[in-house]
Amino acid sequence: MSARVNKDRFLKRMGKIYESWNNQNEEILSNINSMLFVTGNLDEENVYNKTNAMQSWLYNTHLVDTVLVLTKNHIYFLGSQKKVQFVENLKSNDFNGSVPPITLLQREKSDKDRGNMDKLRKILVEAGENVGYFAKEKPNTEFTKSIMEGLPGKDYKPNLTDITLPFAILFAVKLPEEIEIMKKSCTASVNAWKFMKSKLVNATDLKKKVRHNKFADDIEKEMVEVKQQGDMSGHVEACYTPIVQSGGKYVLKFSAQSPDTAMDYGCVVGTVGCRYRSYCSNVGRTMLLEPSDELEKQYETAMAMEAAIIEALKPGAVLKDVYEAGINFLKSKDAKLVDKLTQAPFGFATGLEFREGQLVIGPKCTAVVKENMTFVIAIGFNNLVNKAAKEGSSQGAAIFISDTVLVVKDGAAENLTTGAKNRVKSFVIRLKDEPAAPVDDIISEGRKKRNVILEDQTRHKQTNEDKRKKKQSEIGQRLNEEAKARLAGTQSGDQAVVSKKSTVAYKNREKMPDELEITKLMVYVDRRNDSVVVPVYGVSVPFHISMIKNCSHSVEGDYVYLRINFAHPGSQIGRDNQNFQNPLATFIKELTFRSSNVKEPGELQPSSDNLLTAMRLIKDLQKKYRTQEAEEKEKEGAVKQDKLKLNPPGAKMAPRLKDLFVRPNIVAKRLSGTLEAHINGFRYHSVRGDDIDVLYNNIKHAFFQPCDNEMIILLHFHLKNPVLWGKKKYQDIQFFTEVGEITTDLGKYHHMQDRDDMQSEQQEREMRKKLNAAFQSFADKVSRQTNEAVDFDQPFNQLAFTGVPYRSACTLKPTSSCLVNLTEWPPLVITLDEVELVSFERVSFQIRNFDMVFIFKDYSRKVQTINSIPATSLDSIKDWLNSCDIRYFEGIQSLNWNNIMRTITKDPEAFFEDGGWNFLNSNSDEEAVDDESSEDAYSPSEDSASGEDDDDDDDESAADSEEDDDSASEGSLDSDESSGKSWSDLEEEAARADRNKEIGEETRSTKHSSSNRFGGSSSNRHGGGSSSHRPGGSSSNRHGGSSSANKRPNGFKGGPPPKRRK
């Protein structure tokens, strides 16, 4: 189906044009007989003009080479075949409110539209000679030039009148849906300014040398990205290249350009403007480095003057009076600054055009302010002096402030860009130079003295964690109140009763079948009514098949026994029907029937055949009944979709994607197919002829995941209600195609510079690029066709983290409204609006990963757990949840959420009276206290080994004595050295000590000779032993040390050897 214009939107806004036209108070439009609007190509140098604004206002797009003629009684549209198809649903023969009938004319290139020009000329002649048009806009294509030149004829010379002003006022008054777009546009401008401000502060701090124009170009590229704009990034663009000026020379106009000179950070004027869905907004601020007190007061005066102008912008006010209100305020506040004012208006109307030249806050504009108009306010003072300028910075300064405001019904206009804080301390940078301490003080104080500045900074600096905690406390205050109010509104005494199937076989005896087996008191299986009729004391008694648990038969001698076991109180009927309907009923637990296995004379079959046949039929009937029950259970919760409305046969330009696979595998075989967008839904048509329909009104979330760093590219639909395809219900369906090779041949020889491999990689990159473009184009076309009823969301790869939501690890990616995993199957889609809170479990410094539990606002819904998330992702996940206004808690333990939710749903009032979800916060606090106390409880002393057993062996006592001798000799050495021994005396003492050590080694080797007689001690035979028994002697001896000094006592159970005493 080709894209269609939004009919309701077009008729509503066209009705506004005719209401203004029919208003006799409109001096210009009241004399107009017809209107002519000729549209050519988009002019990149002149994007903002009335023709483009009107096309966006009416069609929400730009239709090249089209003509729109309005008369009092008819509307005519001329365009190519595709353009006519786009507005085909507007065609009508009757008035629709104030909008007259609409006729569509298709271009004829064979005669260069001469016939169409004759028709239009005739229409204009019949309407009258006064034709309204936009005088300043000239035709820029061959078609538009031919129209403007060909319409006047020999007998017809129209009186062309400029109607720019009435349409400027018409576009300036915003409709409710336009106001919402304007607010988002202002949010985008605020985000862009915050980004520019952070860059300016960073450049000032590092004293970067960068040129104004280079800085502005970088800001323009980055301010529309996802990091700054979030989910709005796909629809945000710059109104103009940001303007950055400094160094004493300032041009305080929106037509100014950033100079090609190095920035001077003494006084920086910056302005940014963003355009969201064709609607413009603006923010301008001034950054001051170490300003003088006088300059600060001038900045405050500028802010107060802006507030006075906003106060004067009320419905009914004349724009020149608003200008005078600003001048009078400045004269009363600081008359000296009047001469410093820039010779420019104090603002202008904005919207589809960035600057509406007909509606400016200037001394000569007599236009009247109306409700729901939006204005850009701009106040500038030039040629100011900063007497406190830093050395190397210019003393020349300027102040420029700009905001976007909305005129409301009562009171002052509403400032839509308050997010870009407009107060002095937000834009004044002060550098704190610490006085240099004397060298002697630094040496005497040591390292601690030099850290004073750092400690002071961290003490007063609010960390990211502090900001998160502050916002989390605010969210937590609302959490229990909102949950309690929500439960109070939804809870009622009557709970939904699940209807159970009747287990009555027949309502009365007349309903029982009249069969021969029943008459002969035999076992009869009624497959039609799902019942079994058995004889009990000579009476045929029916039992529903659901009451039979099982049956079996056995052969004993000449008899066959059939045993039937029934469901009864205390027995389990099924997984979902564990309780018997009437637990106090009198019941039969089992029945056993016996029949002879011997054929009597004249019988073709023995009588036992009836029991064997009955057992087989009972089992078949049970199998059939259980299958039906499973299918009915599968249908629970599923909805029947509306009928898909297919595109007309002659329609073109329908969004379509080919060679797609579908998940889950609804058809038995994995086949490719085509996905096409129709009037009210999608249809996937496989090559085998299977059709899968997904209607727009049942789509809860639509996702488009590009193939960047992925092996597949996909479109995923998460449905509001499950839908039956085949005999199963599904709530998620995905259409995808594979990119590159999912499997790799490891046996193939690869070379780094193999031309075939390099070419294949290049082809894969090109294919990825084409697939991304094709899928993105499909998503954009569907969004336009459905008037954004189906808007595809893209995951943010920058916020991705790994986890295990089901059985295997996967990459989880947040979107603007969900947390998803779409690559692995089954998929995970968590709607953030449905989340009550998040609990982080097993959070500890000793554990490398943690778990995350999502608790939903619907307390009857099972919680969603994501396991094994790396601990390195904890901070980024907290930031993301904090930005989404979702409360989170963290703790060391894993909680039993099934019991917790069961307790809450059982008595929610008592739960919230006891503090509600605050128990999670208290648990985490207690765990933190326990951790601190456990850390304080253990404080090992240096003499921890003194408490061990004292019954050491002779070697250990000798070792201690030797160690004492060593320590004593070391002490005497220190004292001798202090008294000044000669080198010869020191050498004699060292030789004496070596001889004593050798004597000790010989004594120990003699003592242990019996243990070494068979190749070493018992410990050596098992792979252990002392190092002194190794070949080559003791390692400690080789280094001149005593082996006994390194020996461990018997009571030492593990760990390093004890330290030597010094």
| Residue ranges in 313-381 assigned as alpha helix (H) | 319-334
Residue 979 — pLDDT band, cuts 50, 70, 90?
very low
Half-sphere exposure of 905 (CA within 13 A, CB side): 15
- Residue 312's pLDDT is 93
Rounded to whole angstroms, the Cα distance separating 599 from 237 reads 94
Residue 493 — pLDDT band, cuts 50, 70, 90?
very low
**Which two structure tokens, joined as six digits, stand for 258?**
């950033």
Half-sphere exposure of 22 (CA within 13 A, CB side): 13
- Residue 752's pLDDT is 55
Residue 1005 in this model has a pLDDT that exceeds 60 = no
Residue 938 in this model has a pLDDT that exceeds 60 = no
**Which two structure tokens, joined as six digits, stand for 602?**
């004249």
For the stretch 236-263, pLDDT in tens is 999 999 999 998 889 999 989 999 998 8
For the stretch 1019-1061, pLDDT in tens is 343 444 433 343 344 333 344 433 333 333 333 334 444 444 4
C-alpha separations of 369 from 17, 372, 374 in Å: 19, 9, 10
Q: 3-class DSSP state for residue 1042? A: coil
Rounded to whole angstroms, the Cα distance separating 827 from 806 reads 9
Q: Between helices 874-883 and 464-490, what is the axis angle to 10°? A: 50
- Residue 431's pLDDT is 61
How many other C-beta atoms are found inside a 10 Å radius of the C-beta of residue 617?
Answer: 16
What is the residue-wise DSSP string for 435-449? PPPPHHHHHHH-HHH
Q: Are 379 and 414 in contact (CB under 8 A)?
A: no
Per-residue buried b or exposed e for 583-613, using 16+ beta carbons within 10 Å of the residue's own CB = eeeeeeeebebebebeeeeeeeebbbebbbb
For the stretch 787-838, pLDDT in tens is 778 889 999 988 899 999 998 999 999 998 899 999 998 899 999 999 999 9
Residue 584 in this model has a pLDDT that exceeds 80 = no
Highest mean pLDDT pick, 140-154, 357-371, 564-578, 773-787 = 357-371
Type of residue numbered 427 = F
Q: Are 802 and 869 in contact (CB under 8 A)?
A: yes
- Residue 67's pLDDT is 92
Pairing of strands 34-39, 130-133: parallel
Rg over CA atoms, the chain = 44
Q: Are 850 and 843 in contact (CB under 8 A)?
A: yes
How many other C-beta atoms are found inside a 10 Å radius of the C-beta of residue 831?
Answer: 15
Residue 258 gets which letter from DSSP?
-
- Residue 739's pLDDT is 84
Q: Are 659 and 686 in contact (CB under 8 A)?
A: no
Residue 780 in this model has a pLDDT that exceeds 80 = yes
* Residue 190, φ and ψ in degrees, nearest 5: -65, -45
Rounded to whole angstroms, the Cα distance separating 414 from 377 reads 12
H-run or E-run covering 565:
strand 559-566
- Residue 763's pLDDT is 82
- What's the whole-model pTM score? 0.51
> Which of residues 444 and 697 earns the better pLDDT score?
697
Of 264, 216, 263, which Cα lies nearest the Cα of 238?
216
Task: Give me the mean pLDDT over the 100-117 stretch.
Answer: 88
Percentage above 90 pLDDT, the chain: 31
Of 350, 381, 349, 352, which Cα lies nearest the Cα of 362?
349
C-alpha separations of 902 from 101, 487, 575, 905 in Å: 63, 15, 19, 5
Only one residue has tokens 């096409």, namely 676
Q: Are 1046 and 1057 in contact (CB under 8 A)?
A: yes
Q: Are 41 and 122 in contact (CB under 8 A)?
A: no
**Which two structure tokens, joined as six digits, stand for 967?**
């320590």
Rounded to whole angstroms, the Cα distance separating 119 from 408 reads 45
Residue 636 — pLDDT band, cuts 50, 70, 90?
low
Which residues are CB-neighbours of 789 under 8 A, at least 6 positions away?
A: 696, 697
> Which of residues 981 and 1046 earns the better pLDDT score?
981
| Residue ranges in 907-953 assigned as alpha helix (H) | 908-913, 918-937
Rounded to whole angstroms, the Cα distance separating 868 from 775 reads 33
For the stretch 94-106, pLDDT in tens is 998 889 999 999 9
Residue 419 — pLDDT band, cuts 50, 70, 90?
confident
Highest mean pLDDT pick, 277-286, 385-394, 543-552, 738-747 = 277-286
- Residue 2's pLDDT is 57
Of 272, 246, 241, 240, which Cα lies nearest the Cα of 259?
246
Kindly report the average pLDDT of the chain as a whole number: 79
**Which two structure tokens, joined as six digits, stand for 70?**
């309005």
Burial of 104 (0-12, 13-18, 19+ CB in 10 A): middle
Percentage above 70 pLDDT, the chain: 77
Cα four-point dihedral sign 26, 30, 31, 33: positive
Half-sphere exposure of 927 (CA within 13 A, CB side): 17
Residue 561 — pLDDT band, cuts 50, 70, 90?
very high
Rounded to whole angstroms, the Cα distance separating 1037 from 1002 reads 12
Of 195, 225, 243, which Cα lies nearest the Cα of 354?
243
Residue ranges of domains in the chain, CATH in brackets: 7-172 (3.40.350.10), 176-429 (3.90.230.10), 518-578+586-627 (2.30.29.210), 637-741+767-794 (2.30.29.150), 795-931 (2.30.29.30)
Angle at 339 between CA 334 and CA 340, to 5 degrees: 85
How many other C-beta atoms are found inside a 10 Å radius of the C-beta of residue 685?
Answer: 14
